[in-house]
């Protein structure tokens, strides 16, 4: 099994810039993927930002299993971790993020009042792993397309302040991973969500991991999407072959075009075509 890791040079540079900018930041918005809310939290960013007020922005809730999202809400409530649930692609999230921000930063607001200072424009830093939806989140908050977006890791390469509604100032950052994942399970979860560039991944192993997870936790998802019954005696390769035949991913000689099957399965999984599902639960 190939060890999955991805930490290109621009991420190391972004980490240094984040450390520099934190001096003028009031609050950190950490975006995570609702399907893997803990695996998509960067422990390196946690170390850097731990002295700042932080709000967890649990994004892509429309793609996650609602029952597991409720379990995560209960967990974060118990841990007293402030959070906001959102689908930043379609939700109007500005008001609830602003209200949570004012609650979390009430101590700073009160300090300003006590010192007779004018109301300040709070500065928020937006962080998260690649492809977690930071640019869409900022565009939603700003009410206009201020940031280049795309469903691929590493779209945002530079850093800039953007004025959002309610006079919030948002500091955007490229998606940053960390040099060594805690486990290969975590690496596979991140790979399934599109956090790591497909070009460097062993896609066969990623797809096998995904299909085996679905077979265990969402057995009807494969059948509903691809139109065949998953029998107990079928191996994971049998399922991949069947997806290929059902989707017409056939090469000369009636051979399965595995690259095409891998890409279409990952596309379906990442974009919700296999249904709402989550890939980890609170421990």
Cite the annotated binding site for GTP by residue number. Answer: 59-62, 87-88, 175
Residue ranges for the known binding site are 59-62, 87-88, 175
Output the DSSP codes for the chain: -PPP----HHHHHHHHHHHHHGGG-SEEEEEEETTSTTTTS-HHHHHHHTTSEEEEEEE-GGGS-HHHHHHHHHHHHHTT--EEE--TTTS--HHHHHHHHHHHTHHHHHHHHHTTPPPP--EEEEEE-TTSSHHHHHHHHHTS--S---SSTT---S-EEEE-GGG-EEEE------SS-S-HHHHHHHHHTT-S-GGGS-HHHHHHHHHHHHHHH-HHHHHHHH-S---TT--HHHHHHHHHHHTT-EEGGGEE-HHHHHHHHHHHHHTTTT-S--S----
């Amino acid at each position: 099994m190939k060890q999955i890791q991805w930490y290109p040079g621009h991420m190391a540079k972004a980490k240094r810039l984040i450390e520099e900018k934190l001096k003028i930041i009031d609050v950190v918005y950490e975006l995570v993927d609702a399907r893997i809310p803990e695996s998509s939290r960067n422990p390196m960013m946690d170390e850097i930002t731990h002295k700042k007020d932080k709000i967890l922005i649990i994004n892509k809730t429309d793609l996650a299993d609602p029952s597991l999202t409720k379990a995560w809400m209960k967990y974060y409530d118990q841990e007293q971790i402030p959070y906001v649930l959102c689908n930043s692609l379609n939700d109007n999230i500005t008001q609830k993020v602003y209200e949570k921000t004012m609650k979390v930063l009430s101590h700073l607001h009160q300090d300003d009042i006590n010192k007779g200072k004018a109301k300040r424009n709070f500065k928020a830093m937006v962080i998260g792993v690649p492809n977690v939806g930071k640019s869409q989140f900022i565009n939603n908050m700003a009410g206009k397309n201020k940031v280049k977006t795309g469903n691929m890791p590493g779209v945002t390469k530079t850093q800039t302040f953007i004025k959002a509604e309610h006079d919030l100032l948002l500091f955007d950052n490229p998606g940053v991973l960390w040099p060594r994942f805690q486990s290969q399970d975590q690496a596979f979860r991140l790979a399934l969500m599109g956090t790591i560039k497909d070009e460097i991944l062993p896609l066969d192993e990623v797809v096998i991991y995904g299909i085996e997870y679905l077979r265990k936790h969402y057995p009807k998802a494969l059948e509903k999407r691809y139109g065949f019954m998953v029998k107990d005696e079928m191996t994971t390769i049998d399922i991949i072959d069947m997806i290929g035949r059902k989707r017409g991913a056939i090469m000369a000689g009636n051979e399965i075009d595995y690259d095409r099957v891998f890409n279409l399965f990952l596309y379906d999984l990442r974009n919700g075509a296999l249904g709402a599902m989550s890939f980890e639960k609170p421990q």
